[in-house]
């Protein structure tokens, strides 16, 4: 547990994936954590962990620009009056960008968890977010060597890059499965192999032709398809008059994370446009079809994790993976050894002490002797990008 004052490390989150990935880190930070939930996920089924936050901003349900602007403004004002020693953001959400911009505005050291992801697809709003956050961050916590390479390619100095692994690894392993809820959801499929699918990204949901083709493809698979329906997808299905395509599928509402993991472990095949599920499927050793034009996690791709840009090819690839699911070698996980959260907690303590040891405190890390010597960094168990993969 970091030896820092209470609520001195601001952890900014606003979506279910952020809360899941930061859950172990928040536990390790203990009383030092100041959890701020922006409310980006305002739906009760998706707003995982909002009740655990010390502060809520409620910017959900707005346009991307409004979310980022409102959250940045509120955080800047709050931190100007009561600055934390360190700010931590995760991933590529509007929430993460708002936290990064506010930290930069008030000159508070910023740690970016899951830095260096790149899809090289400018049509993805998340790509813009993650690039901006990485260049604002004082320390980029990269999950894989490939992420480190991406950061180097953009000119981010090595002193600002730490290879930590991805905290989703320990989150998946430590999350207790809700088998009771899973059994209720899968009861109609008892004794049958099935496919678990999720669809929520704008590139799939906001294009009526693409959404129709995707749902049609799911309805033609040889195995029954269980589809937990995201609120955005449900709205678009209704808006585009595609409800008849759901009749071929086993549709349920959004699942808790504990129930979702329990169901995923029973599935023969996963189909999704989720970025996080690319990580989780590799951790669980499950085959996955990624229905997207591009991916920021190429490390996850393998013969059992395929990128399918065209929904028209979904059925063919699904048939191949279903047929080979019992004979193919298991999926391997490239996202670390399950110690990322501990590394980031220790790193937060180190930076927090640097931050509070100077007067005035609102100055960038390079102005206060960061980074420490390479020998000190190695002693603490950190690795810079050139020193290999987790020792």
Per DSSP, the three-state class of 132 is: helix
Residues in Cβ contact with 156 at an 8 Å cutoff, skipping those fewer than 6 apart: 134, 135, 140
Helix or strand or coil: residue 230?
Answer: coil
CB 286 within 8 A of CB 205: no
Q: Distance between CA atoms of 352 and 243, rounded to whole angstroms?
A: 52
Those residues whose C-beta lies under 8 Å from the C-beta of residue 260, and which sit 6 or more positions away, are 228
Distant-in-sequence, close-in-space partners of 188: CB < 8 Å, separation ≥ 6: 250
Describe the strand order of the beta sheet including 33-37 as a list of residue ranges: 55-56, 33-37, 9-13, 86-90, 110-115, 139-142, 161-163
Q: Do residues 159 and 124 make contact, with C-beta atoms less than 8 angstroms apart?
A: no
Edge-to-edge strands, sheet with 269-272:
250-252, 225-228, 195-198, 269-272, 288-290, 305-307
Question: Known catalytic residues?
Answer: 200
Q: How far apart are CA 23 and CA 49, in angstroms?
A: 9
Question: Pairing state of beta strands 55-56 and 86-90?
Answer: unpaired
């Amino acid at each position: 547990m970091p030896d820092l004052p209470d609520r001195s490390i601001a952890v900014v989150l606003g979506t279910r994936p952020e809360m899941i990935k930061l859950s172990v880190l928040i536990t390790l930070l203990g009383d030092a954590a100041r959890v701020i939930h922006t409310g980006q996920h305002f739906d009760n089924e998706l707003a995982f962990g909002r009740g655990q936050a010390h502060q809520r901003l409620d910017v959900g349900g707005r346009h991307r620009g409004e979310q980022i602007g409102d959250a940045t403004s509120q955080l800047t004002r709050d931190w100007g009056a009561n600055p934390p020693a360190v700010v931590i953001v995760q991933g590529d959400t509007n929430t993460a960008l708002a936290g990064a911009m506010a930290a930069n505005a008030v000159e508070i050291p910023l740690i970016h968890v899951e830095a260096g992801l790149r899809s090289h697809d400018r049509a993805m709003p998340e790509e813009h977010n993650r690039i901006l956050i990485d260049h604002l961050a004082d320390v980029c916590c990269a999950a894989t060597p490939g992420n480190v390479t991406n950061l180097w390619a953009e000119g981010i100095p090595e002193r600002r890059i730490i290879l930590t692994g991805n905290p989703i690894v320990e989150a998946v392993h430590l999350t207790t499965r809700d088998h009771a809820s899973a059994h209720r959801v899968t009861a109609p499929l008892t004794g049958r192999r099935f496919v678990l699918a999720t669809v929520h990204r704008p590139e799939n949901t906001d294009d009526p032709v693409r959404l129709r083709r995707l749902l049609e493809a799911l309805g033609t698979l040889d195995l029954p398809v269980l589809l937990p329906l995201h609120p955005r997808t449900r709205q678009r299905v209704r808006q585009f008059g595609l409800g008849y395509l759901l009749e071929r599928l086993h549709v349920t509402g959004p699942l808790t994370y504990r129930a979702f993991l329990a169901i995923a472990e029973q599935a023969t095949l996963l189909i999704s446009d989720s970025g996080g599920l690319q990580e989780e499927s590799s951790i669980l050793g499950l085959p996955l079809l990624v229905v997207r034009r591009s991916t920021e996690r190429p490390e996850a791709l393998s013969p059992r994790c395929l990128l399918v840009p065209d929904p028209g090819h979904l059925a063919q690839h699904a048939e191949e993976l279903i047929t080979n699911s019992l004979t193919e070698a298991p999926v391997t996980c490239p996202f670390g050894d399950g110690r990322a959260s501990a590394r980031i907690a220790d790193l937060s303590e180190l930076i927090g002490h640097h931050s509070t040891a100077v007067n005035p405190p609102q100055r960038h890390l390079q102005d206060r002797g960061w980074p420490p010597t390479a020998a000190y960094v190695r002693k603490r168990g950190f690795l810079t990008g050139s020193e290999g993969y987790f020792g």
